[in-house]
Amino acid sequence: MGAHGPVSSRGCRSVGSPAASEPPRPGVSLTEIHSCDVVETRTRRLELFVADRIPLVDYLVLSDDPRLVAHECEQCAAKFFGRRNACASCGATAFHEVTVPREGTLRTFTIVSAAGPGVPVPYVAAVVDCGGITTRGILVNVDPDPGQVQLGMQVRLTTVSLGADEAGVEAVGYGFEPA
């Protein structure tokens, strides 16, 4: 539930706005319109979508079932996160999106004990094999202790709040937690 109503699968607020049922007020500015409010005009209806949550990376899809997407080379099937102009493996330029499995196996990790200002330590930096796709992320919901983190452990994708700006828009990252 967002601050102004239920949150849609795209992270937008679904708001019942008085503006949707009343004639538009003269002089209303865009700064007065809130997320996903609807403004009626005489000839058309304009919907404004402003996200309550935004992903930190473009390959994180926020929805009721968050997921990662990779770009797969159509020639050699190599997979990459983020947009590519050409495949690093074969040089081809055609790609399509594939969904990365949400569950995987922890292949390696390190416990980070020193970081930049404002980054809480210690934390676990991890490399996870998600159905053959190597994925880097943080390991959450587990103590950053070598006795609690084991190579080969099964993990699953989860989202992590990274904070919000002055307008209340939340930045969301991803990590992995024990399955």
Q: Where are the domains of the chain?
A: 1-51, 54-178
Least confident of 34-43, 61-70, 114-123, 159-168: 34-43
Q: Other C-beta atoms within 10 Å of 72: how many?
A: 18
pLDDT attached to residue 49: 53
pLDDT tier, 2 (very low <50, low <70, confident <90, very high otherwise):
very low
pLDDT attached to residue 24: 44
Higher pLDDT, 24 or 71: 71
- Local structure of residue 33 (DSSP, 8 states): P
Look at residue 8 and tell me whether its pLDDT is greater than 70: no
- Cα–Cα distances in Å, from 83 out to 58, 70, 95, 96, 99? 9, 9, 9, 10, 14
Look at residue 159 and tell me whether its pLDDT is greater than 60: yes
pLDDT tier, 99 (very low <50, low <70, confident <90, very high otherwise):
very high
The overall average pLDDT reported for the chain is 81
Least confident of 47-56, 81-90, 101-110, 147-156: 47-56
Look at residue 141 and tell me whether its pLDDT is greater than 50: yes
Q: Other C-beta atoms within 10 Å of 168: how many?
A: 11
- Provide the percentage of residues in the chain whose pLDDT is more than 70: 72
139 vs 147: CA distance, rounded Å? 14
Q: Other C-beta atoms within 10 Å of 2: how many?
A: 19
The pLDDT tens digits for 23-70 are 444 444 444 444 444 445 544 444 445 579 999 999 999 998 999 999
pLDDT attached to residue 118: 87
Higher pLDDT, 104 or 4: 104
The two tokens of residue 142 are 């587990």
105 vs 100: CA distance, rounded Å? 13
* Mean pLDDT (whole number) for 6-11: 44
